[in-house]
Amino acid sequence: MPLISHSTYIPPAFLKNGHAQTIFSALCRTVKDVTYQRERLLTDDDDFLDLDWRRVGSTRLAILSHGLESSSRRSYMLGMTRALNQNSFDVLAWNFRGCSGEPNRQARAYHSGATDDLHRVVQHSLKHGYTCIVLVGFSLGANLTLKYLGERGRDAIAHIAAAVCLSVPLNLAECSRAISRQPIYNRRFLRQLTQKVIAKSIYVPQPISLERLRRIKTLWEFDDCYTAPLHGFKNAEDYYAKCSSENFLDEIAVPTLIINAMDDPFLTSACFPFERMKKLRMVWFETPHAGGHIGFVSFNRQGMYWSEQRAVEFLAERV
């Protein structure tokens, strides 16, 4: 489809910097009026996924997938849940393995290409009788969503009506390098990830070596030492190459909106393949000049960020 050449997003005057948008939305926003009902979905490998539901009695369901070291409780997940509820969607905000507040049982965790778990969630939601299902993904969860849709191809049409993906690391290797070069983000992710590895090493049945953990300095090194081998990849480069959503865009068969801010500190030029996007039949590509990483801050009476308004608008036109 044609690129969306003009985005309607206008940032607040004091948040025109991508870092400011990223940090403000992560640390300063609160969404207090959203409560979930939790359901535990047991998996066939003796593990579990915690699903957080917010129902308004709709026949339409939105499945939300969060970002790296996040959860259903993050403000962007709560804000999107509220916006979708207000526009007659039930919401299922699922937590990746180990992200719901309780460690998962297996050595494996989650990663950018673990579409088997997203498929489990989609299949489970179908049992609830919804006539329309849409997907919304953020960052790592957006990469996961695009990869899932590409893998399923035309088969996805039977169950999925549309999708919205925000702040997508289309090229995982380039984004890992970008994060690894920025201490404020690299240290935060590394601290959370290493803490999980240490905690998991105590009780999982498969041994996890902690020998190299203290020497790891970057997100790339963590993925090389832990994420990749734990999930069947040769190394970080192999993991990134096989799981980057840029490799799956051509096969997407449902209407899908990708929104990447030009000032996103996590994304590089590889995440803005404008010429390629022009050739895609079912993918819309919108690139606001501002917005940071899962930022898109707006101030209004509804408390709704621009990204939430835009997602609702895109989905309403198609379902």
Closest C-alpha to 179, from 268, 69, 259, 76: 268
Find where tokens 């998962």 sit: 104
Q: What are the phi and psi torsion angles at 20 (to 5°)?
A: -60, -45
Task: Give the C-alpha separation, 286 to 263, whole Å.
Answer: 13
Which residue among 50, 293, 298, 307 is the active-site one?
293
Which residue among 139, 167, 180, 298 is the active-site one?
139
Which residue among 117, 223, 263, 264 is the active-site one?
264
Q: What are the phi and psi torsion angles at 274 (to 5°)?
A: -60, -45
Is 238 one of the annotated active-site residues of the chain? no
- The distance from CA 64 to its chain's CA centroid, rounded to whole angstroms, is 8
Task: Give the C-alpha separation, 162 to 222, whole Å.
Answer: 34
Instruction: Count other C-beta atoms under 10 Å from residue 279's C-beta.
Output: 11
Is 112 one of the annotated active-site residues of the chain? no
Determine which helix (DSSP H) or strand (DSSP E) holds 23, and give its type and residue range: helix 18-27
Task: Give the C-alpha separation, 236 to 10, whole Å.
Answer: 37
Is 5 one of the annotated active-site residues of the chain? no
Enumerate the active-site residues.
139, 264, 293
